[in-house]
Amino acid sequence: MDKNTFTGMFLIMIIMGASFYFMKPSEADLKKEKIKAHADSIKRGDIPKSTIATTKFVDSAKALANKPVDSAVLKSPFGASTIGTEKLITLENKDILVKLSTQGGKVYSVELKNFKTFDKKPLILFDGNHGNHFGLNFTAGNNSINTDKLYFIPTATELNVAEKDSGSITMRLNYSATQYIDYVYSLKGTGYKVGLTIKPSGLDQVISNSNTLNLDWSASLRKQEKDMEQERRYSYVSYNNTDRENDHLSDTKDDQKEISDKKLQWVAFKDHFFSGALISDKGFSKSNLAETTDVTDTTDIKQMSANLALARNADGSFPLEFYFGPNQFSTLQDQGYALEKIVDLGWGPLKYINRFAVLPVFNFLKQFNWNYGLIILALTIVLKLVLSPLTYKSYLSMAKMRVLKPEMDEIKTKVGEDNPTLLQQEYLKLYKKAGVNPLGGCLPLLIQMPIVIAFFRFFPSLFELRGQSFLWMHDLSTYDSILTLPNIPFIGNHLSLMCVLMTISTLIYTYFNNQVSGATGQMKYIGYITPVIFLGALNSYPAGLNYYYFLANMMTFLQQYIIRLMVDDKKIHAQIQENKKKPEVKKKTGGFQARMEEMMRQKQQLPASTPKKK
């Protein structure tokens, strides 16, 4: 890459960034497009019928509430339950406060008593009827029924179980004096689980296919954290099947999915650090999941919905459980059903690195009750000590290449740059005589890369960092803004001090690394582009993540300083000269190296192209 190519690529990056910023649609345009896309989806039939049916039911229920009651409505199945007044009943223990509504017999709101929002307000997962629906769908006679807007009758009023082992309440939807549907809610004295058993009685002749009921559940997740964009990035519908295989809907765009080939064990409406999950021991036989985002909304992060087919128990009931609590790995693990898979620790090998290496070390360090900034420091030290043999090998290999550079320059002068194939052959001969592996400095770094990337997923998902301060950073789970800016492409509307420090340390690391490796020309400057890109990419990421990368750079400086005291360039040069004097022993080369040498020989043997006649 020559100077002109390098300059051209840099200018293209600036032009692309500026075009994305100045040509992006306004929020009003996005809202209009979203409404149009939703209408088109309904026409095409892309949205599941259950979702449309639920929407129609809600609209008809609102219309019914504003009109005089028709006698025909009262005579229809569950007609008497269309009349009533909504009342709220509290079910509470030491950890959560659950409000149940007589309208729909559903969970009206959930407050997590031990946590606050970023601005120190009560942390409520979802609230009231704003996007919050929970109802059974079934056919009674010729009527389609959804229980979400029907009125239930509670059978208890004293439900504060904070000082008791457990408590329960039954919400009853009457069809007649002997025919009804019961929602039995139960709550233990501590914990984040709410039991729900649905018990139809005497309705086998009323409800069509009463062995299977469809449940519509939807909620608008409220903003809990400082950064709306980051919170949306880590919020989605997550689910796990009975084979303990986990997946989730898209975290970047509106998404929906129908699952009928496998039973789902649970479905979770996952916020960044908190979740509401519905668990079925027998599994949901068919599921329609969906999520949407209104980018103009500043109070709710996403709207999520699930249409689930419930399987009947031997006693005729439909047993379920809710989990309303934090996305803390250990807490979720205690709930059973592999609920800890709500926490996304990365894909492929990254997930296993975080799950079986990083997390156990972090949990061990957490036992000392240190500040989390010190725990991250200790974690970085442990990691660097484990990887120090690889760091040493990488440095030693780069030192050998640096010592060889004068001889490589001589070969370059003799052969010339116009014959790169012959030049590479001569380099390979030199490497063989000197006993140097040109890839020796790269391979240790490549081995370390999965660990570095694994931390990129680990820290943003780490619940323990939420609300924890260290030095000037008030919350390690979000960015530490020191300067408010107008919205700048790639940077955003703020500047994170820890991200700036991380970038500066990376630039300094690149400078010293160039000194060690002996990089020259354009290669000497290309390494400076990546840290600048990371400044924009990581500016809105958690301060804890940038703090770790900063510490990792500083630890690498220290390691390289110590190794430099241990490694003598003169001794390396002497050893290389001794290796060159030894008689060449032919070794069976590996497949890749053999193919490379053969390819170079063939290219060297090709006749020069004949110049065209004028």
Task: Identify the structural domains of the chain with CATH numbers, from first to last.
Answer: 43-344 (2.70.98.90), 363-576 (no CATH)
For residue 158, name the pLDDT band (cuts at 50, 70, 90). Answer: very low
Within 13 Å of residue 326, how many CA atoms lie on the same side as its CB?
A: 20
Measured distance CA(106)–CA(151) in Å, rounded:
10
E-assigned strand segments in 358-491: 481-488
> Which alpha helices (DSSP H) does 136-287 contain, by range?
228-233
402 or 185: whose pLDDT is higher? 185
* pLDDT over 70 (residue 326): yes
Q: Give how far Cα 224 sits from Cα of 103, 301, 368, 377, Å.
A: 26, 9, 29, 28
Q: How high is the mean pLDDT of the chain?
A: 80
For residue 321, name the pLDDT band (cuts at 50, 70, 90). Answer: very high
Average pLDDT over residues 34-40: 56
* pLDDT over 50 (residue 60): no
Q: Whose CA is closest to 277, among 304, 315, 250, 311?
A: 304
In percent, the amount of the chain with pLDDT more than 70 equals: 75
The predicted pLDDT at position 10 comes to: 58
* pLDDT over 60 (residue 124): yes
Tokens linked to 25 = 């649609």
* pLDDT over 80 (residue 593): no
The predicted pLDDT at position 189 comes to: 87
Beta bridge partners, 167, equal 187
> Which alpha helices (DSSP H) does 459-522 contain, by range?
497-517
Q: Give residue-wise pLDDT tens across range 427-473.
A: 777 777 776 776 666 666 677 788 888 888 899 999 999 999 999 99
Q: Give residue-wise pLDDT tens across range 162-212.
A: 445 568 899 999 998 899 999 999 999 899 999 999 999 988 888 877 677
* pLDDT over 90 (residue 88): yes
439 or 501: whose pLDDT is higher? 501
Average pLDDT over residues 29-33: 58
Measured distance CA(274)–CA(463) in Å, rounded:
9
Whole-model pTM: value is 0.77
Tokens linked to 378 = 């200790």
Q: Which of 154-168, 236-250, 274-288, 322-336 has the lowest mean pLDDT?
A: 154-168
Cβ neighbours for 171, distance < 8 A, ≥ 6 positions apart = 100, 102, 105, 152, 153, 154, 155, 182, 183, 185
Q: Whose CA is closest to 273, among 497, 473, 476?
A: 476
Q: Which of 222-236, 397-411, 581-595 has the lowest mean pLDDT?
A: 581-595
Q: Which of 19-33, 98-112, 382-396 has the lowest mean pLDDT?
A: 19-33
E-assigned strand segments in 28-130: 88-92, 96-101, 107-116, 122-127
The count of other CB atoms within 10 Å of the CB of residue 511 is: 12
For residue 612, name the pLDDT band (cuts at 50, 70, 90). Answer: very low
The predicted pLDDT at position 14 comes to: 62
Within 13 Å of residue 442, how many CA atoms lie on the same side as its CB?
A: 4
* pLDDT over 70 (residue 19): no
* pLDDT over 90 (residue 403): no
The predicted pLDDT at position 316 comes to: 87
Beta bridge partners, 219, equal 304
Beta bridge partners, 241, equal 264
The predicted pLDDT at position 415 comes to: 76
For residue 218, name the pLDDT band (cuts at 50, 70, 90). Answer: very high
322-349 residues labelled b (16+ CB within 10 A) or e (exposed): bbbbbbbbebbeebebbbbbbbbbbeee
Average pLDDT over residues 123-135: 87
